[in-house]
């Protein structure tokens, strides 16, 4: 018998006992550490730095990576964790994505042995925070137009680099112990590791945000930043370097968005069963039931889609256009669900006492980063027509 009437498709039965156990562990963490505090963090626009080592202890930082102190979990397990964390708040899941899917994946995939040994164990433990600096004030959807330059400093094997430029929207940059910075060189795009405290680097948090308030994004300036030869990520060549990491994060987002949607739905469902108007609970009206059912249908479909992507990823056959389809659909539908859930809450729904409008505001960021809706539409358009319509 299925204990949760909202899991109409019995999706739980598609998970192994081990997967269910991890999901429950992260769900409990969200219930204990995120849910009771998130309204205050969001209102105060605070990212709770103390969560970093706790998330390391939970085993969700660099969750899908092997070795170097990383948990070495499957793609499905990582996805389930992303979903449960984002049911708490997208800002917390964003931290986990930036740390694990972006910064740690860049070092794990493209770094030297020394770089991996130096950074990954402490990043997996949440002792060192990483960031991933790709976007620039004038280069968002089109990173190939980046203006940040790294030029050779000296000659021969000992030649270092001088970094100049500006990045924007860089998650966690002001608290990062290490920055992964993508810059143009005379040999195309390369990645560099810039440790905290390197002279010439300034990271300033962006304020007055209406979305992702329990999370930090920064403007970063590099002014004649001198780096040694060991700063270069040796294996990354061209935009494939950052794009590989972005695909990891986009995969997690396809799951995470369903967490925000599910939490919004559950909030509206509970409210509709208690709130009486015209002598009956809101849930007793056909118009309300239609809203709830429409939400649930999209949540069940989107979760099934995320699980399908996860199984493909674990089998090593997941393709970029499949990730685009998942990210585009699940974030778009999650946003619709969160807004519809807010409508059931009436006036109370515009306060931080309830989650849906906070989720909806966050999801506006989620639909923008890691490839906007339009970018993923163009990826899929190119895939099915064979015609590149990006320019």
Pairwise CA distance, residues 130 & 76, whole Å: 23
- The number of helix segments (H) and strand segments (E) in the chain equals 12, 9
Is 370 one of the catalytic residues?
yes
Q: Is the dihedral of CA 298, 304, 305, 307 positive or negative?
A: positive
**SS3 (DSSP) at 385:** helix
The answer to the question of residue 80 lying near ligand FAD (CB under 6 A) is no
- CB burial of residue 344 (10 Å; 0-12, 13-18, 19+): buried
Pairwise CA distance, residues 174 & 133, whole Å: 12
The answer to the question of residue 135 lying near ligand FAD (CB under 6 A) is yes
Task: Choose the stretch contacting ligand FAD; rule: CB under 6 A; options: 120-128, 166-174, 277-285, 292-300.
Answer: 166-174
Query: Active site residue: 77, 84, 340, 370, which one?
Result: 370
Which two tokens mark 371? 């490839």
Task: Choose the stretch contacting ligand FAD; rule: CB under 6 A; options: 110-118, 327-335, 346-354, 368-376.
Answer: 368-376
**SS3 (DSSP) at 383:** helix
**SS3 (DSSP) at 238:** coil
The answer to the question of residue 365 lying near ligand FAD (CB under 6 A) is yes
Task: Choose the stretch contacting ligand FAD; rule: CB under 6 A; options: 165-173, 225-233, 291-299, 315-323.
Answer: 165-173
- CB burial of residue 236 (10 Å; 0-12, 13-18, 19+): buried
The answer to the question of residue 134 lying near ligand FAD (CB under 6 A) is yes
Q: Which is nearer to ligand FAD, 48 or 288 (CB)?
A: 48
Choice from 372, 380, 382, 383 touching ligand FAD (CB under 6 A): 372
Pairwise CA distance, residues 249 & 62, whole Å: 11
Count of residues for the chain? 391
Q: Which is nearer to ligand FAD, 41 or 369 (CB)?
A: 369
Choice from 374, 380, 381, 383 touching ligand FAD (CB under 6 A): 374
| Phi, then psi, of 252 in degrees rounded to 5 | -65, -35
The answer to the question of residue 217 lying near ligand FAD (CB under 6 A) is yes
The answer to the question of residue 390 lying near ligand FAD (CB under 6 A) is yes
Q: Whose CB is nearest to ligand FAD?
A: 140
The answer to the question of residue 205 lying near ligand FAD (CB under 6 A) is no
Least distance from C-beta 362 to ligand FAD, angstroms?
Answer: 8
Question: Is the distance from CB of 65 to CB of 108 less than 8 angstroms?
Answer: yes
Least distance from C-beta 387 to ligand FAD, angstroms?
Answer: 13
Pairwise CA distance, residues 266 & 136, whole Å: 38
User: Judged by CB under 6 A, how many residues of this single chain contact ligand FAD?
Assistant: 19
The full DSSP string for 252-281 is HHHHHHHHHHHHHHHHHHHHHHH-EETTEE
The answer to the question of residue 368 lying near ligand FAD (CB under 6 A) is yes
The answer to the question of residue 271 lying near ligand FAD (CB under 6 A) is no
The answer to the question of residue 247 lying near ligand FAD (CB under 6 A) is no
The kind and range of the H/E element at 298 are helix 286-314
Least distance from C-beta 105 to ligand FAD, angstroms?
Answer: 13
Which two tokens mark 87? 């049911």
Choice from 141, 144, 145, 343 touching ligand FAD (CB under 6 A): 141
Nearest one of 217, 3, 244, 289 to 109, comparing CA atoms: 244
Q: Which is nearer to ligand FAD, 247 or 365 (CB)?
A: 365
The answer to the question of residue 381 lying near ligand FAD (CB under 6 A) is no
Pairwise CA distance, residues 31 & 216, whole Å: 22
Choice from 69, 72, 140, 177 touching ligand FAD (CB under 6 A): 140
- Rule CB under 6 A: which residues touch ligand FAD? 98, 132-135, 140-141, 169-171, 212, 217, 365, 368-369, 372, 374-375, 390
**Could you list the active site residues?**
370
């Amino acid at each position: 018998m299925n204990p949760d009437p909202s899991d109409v498709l019995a999706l739980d039965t598609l998970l192994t006992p081990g997967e269910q156990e991890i999901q429950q562990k992260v769900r409990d963490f969200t219930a204990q550490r995120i849910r009771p505090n998130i309204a205050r963090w969001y209102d105060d626009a605070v990212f709770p730095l103390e969560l970093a080592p706790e998330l390391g202890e939970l085993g969700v930082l660099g969750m899908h990576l092997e070795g170097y102190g990383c948990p070495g979990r499957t793609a499905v397990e990582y996805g389930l964790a992303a979903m449960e964390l984002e049911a708490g708040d997208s800002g917390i899941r964003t931290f986990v994505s930036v740390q694990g899917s972006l910064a740690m994946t860049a070092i794990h995939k493209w770094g030297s042995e020394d770089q991996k040994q130096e950074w990954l164990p402490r990043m997996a433990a949440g002792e060192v925070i990483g960031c991933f600096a790709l976007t620039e004030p004038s280069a968002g959807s089109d990173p190939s137009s980046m203006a940040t330059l790294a030029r050779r400093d000296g000659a021969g094997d000992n030649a270092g680099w001088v970094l100049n430029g500006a990045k924007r929207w860089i998650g966690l940059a002001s608290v990062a112990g290490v920055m992964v910075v993508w810059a143009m060189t005379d040999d195309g795009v390369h990645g560099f590791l810039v440790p905290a405290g390197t002279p010439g680097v300034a990271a300033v948090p962006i304020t007055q945000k209406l979305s992702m308030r329990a999370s930090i994004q920064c403007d970063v300036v590099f002014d004649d930043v001198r780096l040694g030869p060991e700063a270069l990520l040796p294996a990354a060549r061209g935009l494939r370097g950052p794009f590989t990491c972005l695909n990891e994060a986009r995969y997690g987002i396809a799951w995470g968005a369903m967490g925000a949607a599910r939490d919004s739905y559950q909030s509206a469902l509970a409210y509709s069963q208690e709130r009486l108007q015209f002598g009956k609970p809101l849930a007793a009206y056909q118009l309300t039931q239609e809203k709830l059912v429409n939400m649930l249908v999209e949540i069940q479909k989107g979760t099934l889609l995320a699980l399908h992507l996860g199984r493909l990823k674990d089998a090593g056959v997941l393709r970029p256009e499949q990730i685009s389809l998942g990210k585009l659909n699940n974030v778009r539908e999650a946003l619709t669900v969160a807004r519809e859930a807010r409508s059931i809450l009436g006036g109370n729904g515009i306060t931080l006492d309830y989650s849906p409008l906070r989720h909806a505001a966050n999801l506006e960021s989620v639909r923008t980063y890691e490839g906007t809706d339009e970018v993923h539409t163009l990826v899929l358009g190119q895939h099915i027509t064979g015609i590149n319509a990006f320019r």
